[in-house]
Amino acid sequence: MCELGKRLREAREAKGLEIAQAAEFLKVRRAVLEALEECRFDELPEPALARGYLRRYAQLLGLDPTPLLALYPMAVAPEPPPIPAPSRPAWLWLLPLLALLALLSWLAFRGLGPSSAPAQAQPAPASPPPPQQVSLRIATQPPGARVYLDGFLLGQSPLEVRVEAGERTLRIEASGYRKHEQVLNLQTDRNLSVALTPLPPAPTPPTQPAPATPASGLVLRFEGTSWVRVTDPRSGRALYEGTVSSGAQLSYPLPVSVRVGNAGVVRAIVNGQDRGLLGRVGQALTLRFE
């Protein structure tokens, strides 16, 4: 395994993410992430698109993409074409070699052979400069909107990030507002302020009774998709493990230990009191509730 794949795999395993979960978060095929971790660059798409996948994967894992992009090969060497079998007798191939040897002997006799002076060393090719990065600051109205760049979630507004310069696609989403999308040509630092347009009110559905919240114990409410593992800290027995979709709810008596892969979409209610979201979007952490 090359250094690039080793760093990616170690960072993913440290976050407790399966490769299938990472592919679901990034909305890319699992085979793309497997090829990056196993350094099978010839199975990836063209370098520009593959580098975009690498940058998004590194940011999901909390890594600085710049040194990883420097490890990605600028081009994948194609396999050499097969050498065709000779179609004439093998001894005929010796004729050009004999003619060349005769020419060199004649030149040496006339004093016109290759110079005995040592060949001048050619300078080593300069390494390509690292990709230029610029600062991108985004504020939205309302605040707290989800900000995506090239399809990868950067976080919630307001935010400031360092991104690779060039033409990038910005998308901003918030519940109850129209999606905002535009193409940015990032060459210098940019400050953006975006006011989202509210959606028209939807027809009121028939009233459904809200799920009852137990007066005691822990309730986990999922406002997005996340992997979760729930264990009994006293016996170490696993009570639940799997990927839970948005809108679901899990309840357990205390004490209980919880590990999540996307803390920013899991809300904890302890003994009937809302403790808020467990952490940031994309953050993996373990908490114990007494």
Task: Give the pLDDT confidence of 249-265 residue by residue, as tens digits.
Answer: 999 999 999 999 999 99
Separation CA 64–CA 59 (nearest Å): 7
Separation CA 282–CA 63 (nearest Å): 13
pTM beyond 0.75: the answer is: no
- Reference 192, options 216, 217, 163, 219; nearest CA is 163
Task: Give the pLDDT confidence of 73-126 residue by residue, as tens digits.
Answer: 876 555 555 555 555 566 666 777 788 888 887 777 776 545 444 556 566 555
Task: Give the pLDDT confidence of 25-72 residue by residue, as tens digits.
Answer: 888 899 998 998 898 888 888 888 888 888 998 899 989 989 888 888
